[in-house]
Structure 1
Amino acid sequence: MEKDSNGHWFCGDACEGIFSKLHDMLGNPIIVGHGNLTWTLLKSNNDDNGGISEMESKLNVALGVMHECFEPIVDTLHGKDIAADVMFSREYWLQRLNFKGFYTVILERNDEVISVANTRIYGQKVAEVPLIATRERFRKRGMCQVLMKQLEKLLVELGVERLVLPASPHVIETWTNSFGFAKMTESEQYECLRYALVNFPDTTLCHKSLKQPLMLLEA
């Protein structure tokens, strides 16, 4: 482990490079094609004791989209709102409830949040997307695909090799047929045990290799 001048610890130069790239992107909208679409990378600053920043406000809106799309995901033992803890990258001593390191990606049109995804990156080996949601009135318009395409392009630029997500039974075919994911085998899941991946009851872990030419992701 190495420590930078700001007190952050990294396992090596690659991880430090990923952190620096993501930090530079925070809060800066990026234009996506046409139709006034932009996507933005957000992350809660849990050390900020001041007022609510614009980024925190956006995260609250993004959390509202998650709550609009999903039944409350509550840890029965500790009563914690998993979606909120992931959204605000909250740290906890219990590994399965430690969501430190999560970023949020939002897709907007004219400052209205359309789609939201949470991601956490484990160096260049694995990234996860445990939660992704689209406002009901924007569904079946390809908005989720636009958001995932931008996220995957970013991960490829960072050198990440694999993207993992938990899929509920009614959307597994969508992820495998439309987004290029595949169900993980037991041996593949075993390889990922070193990472504290977020999983939910009655879901199936799926993954996608990102070790492919960038032009394929843009097709």
Structure 2
Amino acid sequence: MKKSYTILGIIAVIIIAIYVMIPKERFAENVFPLGDGTKAFAYDDNADGGTSVVRFASSDSLVSFQCAMGVDEKKPTWCGLVFDFDPKGEKNYHNWKNVDTLYLDMDVSGTDEVNVKVWSYDPDVTDLSNPSSFKMLLKEVPVKAGNNKVAIPFEQLYIPDFWYDNLGVKRSRNNPHHENIARVEISAGWKQPRGKNFVVNVRGISVSGVSNKAYGIFLFMILGLMVVAIGRSHPVKEYDEK
């Protein structure tokens, strides 16, 4: 029995060594500067009766967004900056299954928080005519005046309760659908005062990650080793029939 466990231990060491040596498949993609087919634009609440004032300008190296949300408490108020991967509605979504970090490089003034949203297409929920039915993956990001270089672990993006409530979607439908990313958005933080102008100048947005294929192979091999070990520790007894 001891000999068997020694052999299993040696095999385990070999498996770990192989895992370390397997080349990792790295993933990286720029959101801004803009890639092919991606469009940057700003939005406001004016079409719904709001009075927010937005200014937007874009160049190859900088996207400038300014907003002062409407002061009338009786009217809706919102504004934001969007990087749309599928502006023509052709389902040209980006596959971010291997993404583990979202990076932002931006100059900020007039606010101490922005909301970063990543929207994905959910075939069971999304109505292409209703942008808000795309699945919202949200992260509130504290910022300071001046330049902010932020790295957001992708696992920190969450689906907020109000998204489920607004659309009447069951919370069991919680697959983020990272394989169908439609757009990235930056908007005002929840406590942004009405009438106060805030500015977000985006210099760069990107994502990166490492493929989990090698990790999956590693786990499969370890699982096989465990099955062998369990089998060795519980030998089958044979009984003679009399």
- TM-score class, shorter: under 0.3
Higher helix share: 1
Higher strand share: 2
Structure-1-length-normalised TM-score: 0.27
Q: Which has the higher contact order (CA 8 A, sep 6+)?
A: 2
